[in-house]
Amino acid sequence: MLVVIGGAALYAAFDSLLSHTPSETEDERDARERAARSVTDLERLLKTRTCEECQIYGAELAGKDLRGITLRHSVLDGNLRNADLRGAHIDRATLSGDLRGVDLRGAKLFEPAFTPREGLLAGARMDGGDLHTVRFADYTSWNYAILRGANLQDVSFAGHSGPHGRGDPRHPLDAPTGGATMRGVDLRDANLRGSWLRQADLTNADLRGADLTDADLPPAEDIVGAQFEGAIAPDGLPCLAGSVGRCITKKGKQPPWLDRYHRR
């Protein structure tokens, strides 16, 4: 287990992982070497605020000030609950572990991957972020996360994320994996054009002012209480006042995209 005290990284590890013995198995040797590399890479990250091709596992960084760090082609795994990564530069790196409440406001994200332990990204702050190249694990929990004004164009919330538009054969038209849980998520004014939300649970989500043009939305039972007022519906029509749990258009009808749940 990694313990961070006063900015210095210390590891408490079993002797079997830190010292070689003649009877050491290959798996034990690999675990020992990975633990040793994690120590070195984490110390480098905390000292220089930059890490390239780092492999950090089991880090205890809850609430840690990691503002402005740069991670390239790296893995940062561990307890990152409520960690402050505002302004971080995440370049084709993976963040995994406990990511609840992580603050990524203003972060520069280039094809990162989020693989939260047990799917937990609840309460994360990514408002205003450019997330259109992010890869999200399936079954991710975004409950009450703040994504207001974020760019989520063409993003999939079913474990097949990436900048794959409808014309791209990689677009997940029949995604077999589970959708994200997004209860109460704040998506006000977000760019969700072409996004894949069909298998997501958007109960009580706030989508006011969001651009949902060409987005694939879930069926009516998964948008109960969701607010659509001021949003642009998938068919390009604006959702009027009173659009809760459905989108009311100027014709006073619920658009057909909220009534269908089909596979292509």
pLDDT tens by residue, 200-251 = 899 999 999 999 999 988 888 899 999 999 999 998 999 999 999 988 877 6
Q: What is the largest CA-CA distance in the chain?
A: 78
Output the CA torsion 159→165→166→172 (10° steps): -10
4 pLDDT higher than 50: no
Interval 40-81: pLDDT, tens = 999 999 999 999 999 999 999 999 999 999 999 999 999 999
Structure token digits, residue 247:
């989108």
CB 74 within 8 A of CB 52: yes
107 CA to centre of own chain: 13
Strand blocks (E) in the chain: 2-5, 8-11, 50-52, 55-60, 70-72, 75-79, 89-91, 94-98, 108-110, 113-116, 135-136
Mean pLDDT of 88-96: 92
Q: Cβ contacts of residue 205 below 8 Å, gap of 6+?
A: 182, 183, 184, 185, 186, 187, 223, 226, 227
| The two three-digit tokens of residue 259, written as one number | 């009534």
How do residues 97-151 score in pLDDT, each as one tens digit?
899 999 999 888 888 888 777 667 889 999 988 888 777 776 778 889 999 999 9
Q: What is the mean pLDDT of residues 193-202?
A: 88
Q: By CB neighbour count within 10 A (0-12 exposed, 13-18 middle, 19+ buried), where does 201 fall?
A: buried
Torsion of CA 64, 96, 55, 6, to 10 degrees: 10
pLDDT(82) > 90? yes
- What is the distance between the alpha carbons of residues 145 and 61, in angstroms, rounded to a whole number? 20
139 Cβ contact list (under 8 Å, min separation 6): 119, 159, 177, 178, 179, 180, 181
Q: What is the pLDDT of residue 22?
A: 59
The four Cα atoms 86, 141, 192, 223 give a dihedral, to 10 degrees, of: -140
| CA angle at 111 for the pair 233 and 223, rounded to the nearest 5° | 30
Query: How does strand 75-79 pair with strand 94-98?
Result: parallel
* Predicted pLDDT of residue 26: 84
Q: Is the pLDDT of residue 14 over 80?
A: no
Pairing of strands 2-5, 8-11: antiparallel
HSE at residue 252, side-chain half, CA atoms within 13 A, is 0
pTM as predicted: 0.76
> Integer distance in angstroms from the first to the last C-alpha of the chain?
47
- Tally of CA atoms within 13 A in the half-sphere of 38 that contains its CB: 25
